[in-house]
Structure 1
Amino acid sequence: MQISAPSRCERVAINGLTYNIRHWGEDDAPLLLMLHGWMDSSASFQFTVDALRHSWHVLAPDWRGYGQSEWLNRAYWFADYYADLDALLDRYSPGAPARIVGHSMGGAVASIYGGARPERIGGLLMVDFLGLLPNEAHEAPGCIRAWLEHSRGAPKLRIYASREQLAARLLQFNARLLPERATFLALHCAIELPDGRFVVACDPWHKVPSPQLYRVEEVMACWRAMTAPVRLVTADEGYVMQRFQKHPEELQRRMACFVNGSIAGIDDCGHNVQHDQPEKLAALIESFFTYQ
């Protein structure tokens, strides 16, 4: 597969862990930070970067426990991502609010962080994420019990005999994914085990369910504290529509939290917008952020 925008990787210390930071473009170009989602890694944005028409310095970290960043090999706590993003912005955008594209979990981290540090974000394009469905209080014992059970042993990832088998699985999972893109992802978003087999480059401990209930009102309080423009990108077959299409009043209630919020939809697209419609996503990125 021909990749028009080669990336380069940098290893940096972030909050006591070795982080892998992927860069595209020249260092002196306008900075654009891309944050990947759950069970993904930075190389996932390659097709979107290829579709950008302007010159950008795109920076995309592998979150802790993903890709080539250091893995904990134990349970993760979501709040650590806020501290990691804080440290990343201190390093790469210390003097200016950052332009951020956050897919799924990346959007969750950036939008909550943006309420605590509104001065650090100049704009957020939140891709197919508008919070989870809320838990009920009576679910708390079950959540803790599930966490305890999963924490007793080391979780496992599905193992593939070859990169070709992994690419075939990606194509089976997503009918919109082009074969050459599946091949690229199997090469750059997977790791080889000592026995020559392959797994997706994600610490399996990320699959352990949280013992904490999801409290959407607390999340929405952070959204209300954001001052930067926020654009939600929805996919017609993505998670936001699955969760809220039948509850438009809830979608509007959540969007109303953002002082300057808007919505843009992409058709013929699943949750992984950056794989299914990277050209349309790139166009929305460049129409949302002022190029300077």
Structure 2
Amino acid sequence: MAEPEDRFYESQGLQLHYVDWGNESAPPLILVHGGLDHCRNWDAIARELQPHFHIMAPDLRGHGDSEWAKGSSYSLTDNVYDMTRLMQFAGLQDAAFVGHSMGGMVALAYAGTYPEKVSRLIVLDGAFLSGSQPAPIHEQMSRWIDQLDRISEHQESTFRTIEEAAKRLSTRNKRLTSALALHLASYGVRKGADGLYRWKFDHYQRARAPYRLSPEDYVALWTRITCPTLLMWGDESFLSDPEAAGLLAHFKSAELEKIAGAGHWLHHDRLDVVLASLRRFLGAPEAALAVDSGITGL
């Protein structure tokens, strides 16, 4: 399948988008992107695994081609609800999940809420707990209000070309090839009536709302996960080592894979290693040839 099909479903009055890579008779696999990202960042992995799985990759609310929420702080629980709606819309009783960063947190929370609906779970640099005590609630509230005010006054970044947006992405991750940066940018920006390109994601997602899950809440969810779980971490990530943080003790059946020479975007930095691990853990046959991402120059 050269390109996936665009599909939409409804959740809390929002029209949410996902791409369906076909192969409906195969086991379902849902790929969940991270914050300020979009579903097409999985394309290289989806193309490789599509012969063995029915792959669906959603744009989380406020991302990609999904609608923005009005007056929402994009809580984790809202995103978990959206996952339940996607599962219902696609007619799935269970699925394997792969989540990156914030998408990993969403997948973990969904698996902890509905352990019987997740057959396998892989989290790319998305399992972490805050070790610091939360600030007093009045400080959290005032900080959040200040953030919202700043965002309302924020001037969006604009780009004359998609290539300019691709260069901006490359400043965030130096390992991106020019072809991959251009691919990510082409699905990550939207052209306005003024002819300029702007990011598709809603900047209000940057606000840190005071009504968040506590570390104890996360642990309570993780301990309910019953499926085999693989945590993947890059040794150059800005997040802490899950093993050193003692996170594996909170799972019934979890293993950790550390990837050398990778930062936060594991699947972009070391695609070959990540794909091999996904194949092994998901039970997909090994590739006969070297990875062909379908993205020129990757």
Q: Which residue of 2 aligns with 1:45?
A: 42
User: Cα RMSD over matched residues?
Assistant: 2.1
Q: Any conservation in 2 of the 1:131–1:216 contact (CA below 8 Å)?
A: no
Q: Any conservation in 2 of the 1:47–1:275 contact (CA below 8 Å)?
A: no
**Residue-by-residue CA offset, 1:35-60 (whole Å, 9 max, x unaligned):** 01111110010122234384322100
Which structure 1 residue ranges, 5 or more long, are not aligned?
none
Q: Any conservation in 1 of the 2:9–2:89 contact (CA below 8 Å)?
A: no
Normalising by structure 1, what TM-score? 0.89
Question: Are 1:104 and 2:104 matched, yes or no?
Answer: no
Amino acid at match of 2:59: D
User: Which segments of structure 1 move beyond 4 Å, counting only runs of 4 or more?
Assistant: none
Q: Which residue of 2 aligns with 1:223?
A: 222
Q: Any conservation in 1 of the 2:22–2:50 contact (CA below 8 Å)?
A: no
* Residues in 2 aligned to 1:281 and 1:220: alpha-carbon distance in whole angstroms: 26
Q: Which residue of 1 aligns with 2:270?
A: 277
Q: Which residue of 1 aligns with 2:288?
A: none
Amino acid at match of 1:138: A
Deviates more, 1:198-207 or 1:31-40: 198-207
Question: Are 1:94 and 2:73 matched, yes or no?
Answer: no
Question: Are 1:148 and 2:141 matched, yes or no?
Answer: no
**Residue-by-residue CA offset, 1:200-243 (whole Å, 9 max, x unaligned):** 22011111122235521210111001111110011111243xx2
Alignment of 1:207-286 (within 5 A): 207-212=206-211, 215-240=214-239, 243-244=240-241, 248-250=243-245, 252=246, 254-286=247-279
> For this pair of structures, how many residues does the alignment match?
282
Q: Which residue of 1 aligns with 2:67?
A: 70
**Residue-by-residue CA offset, 1:153-211 (whole Å, 9 max, x unaligned):** 62554222221111111122211101111111111121112211112220111111222
Q: Secondary structure at the match of 1:202?
A: coil
Normalising by structure 2, what TM-score? 0.87
Instruction: Give the 3 Å change call, closer, same or farther, for CA 214–117 of structure 1 in structure 2.
Output: closer
* Residues in 2 aligned to 1:168 and 1:193: alpha-carbon distance in whole angstroms: 19
Q: Which residue of 2 aligns with 1:197?
A: 196
Identity of aligned residues (%): 26
Q: Any conservation in 2 of the 1:5–1:25 contact (CA below 8 Å)?
A: no
* Residues in 2 aligned to 1:18 and 1:110: alpha-carbon distance in whole angstroms: 20
Instruction: Give the 3 Å change call, closer, same or farther, for CA 5–256 of structure 1 in structure 2.
Output: farther
- The answer to which structure, 1 or 2, has the higher relative contact order (CA under 8 A, 6+ apart) is 1
Q: Secondary structure at the match of 1:234?
A: strand
